[in-house]
Chains A and B, each alone.
Chain A
Amino acid sequence: MPVLAYANPERFARLASSLTPWFLGSAIGLLLAGLFLGLFMAPPDYQQGDAARIMYVHVPAAWMSMFVYGCMALASAAAFIWKHPLADVAAKASAPVGCIFTALALITGMLWGKPMWGAWWVWDARLTSVLILFFMYLGYIVLWSAIEDPARAARAARILALVGAINIPIIKFSVDWWNTLHQGATVFRTDGPSITSSMLIPLLVMAVAYNVLYAALLLIRMRAEIAERRLRSIRLGLEFEPK
Chain B
Amino acid sequence: MTDWSTFFAMGGYAAYVWPAYVISVVSLLAIAIASWNWMTRAERLASASKSAEGPTPETKL
* Chains A and B bind each other: yes
- Let me know if A61 is at the binding interface, CB within 8 A: yes
Question: In the bound complex, do residue A54 and residue B17 qualify as a contact, i.e. CB atoms below 8 Å apart?
Answer: yes
Summed over the interface, the residue pairs from A and B with CB atoms below 8 Å come to a total of 118
Question: With contacts A228-B46, A238-B53 known, is A51 near B16, CB below 8 A?
Answer: yes
Count, chain B residues at interface, CB 8 A: 35
How many of chain A's residues have a CB under 8 angstroms from any CB in B?
A: 48
A interface majority secondary structure = helix
Q: Chain A residues in contact with chain B, CB under 8 A?
A: 1-3, 6, 24, 31, 35, 39-40, 44, 49-51, 53-54, 57-58, 61, 96-97, 100, 103-104, 107-108, 111-112, 114-115, 213, 216-217, 220-221, 223-225, 227-228, 230-231, 233-238, 240
Q: Are B17 and A221 in contact (CB under 8 A)?
A: no
- Let me know if B21 and A50 touch, CB within 8 A: no
User: For window 5-32 of chain B, which residues contact chain A by CB distance below 8 Å?
Assistant: 7, 10-13, 16-17, 19-21, 23-25, 27-28, 31-32
Say what secondary structure dominates the interface of chain B: helix
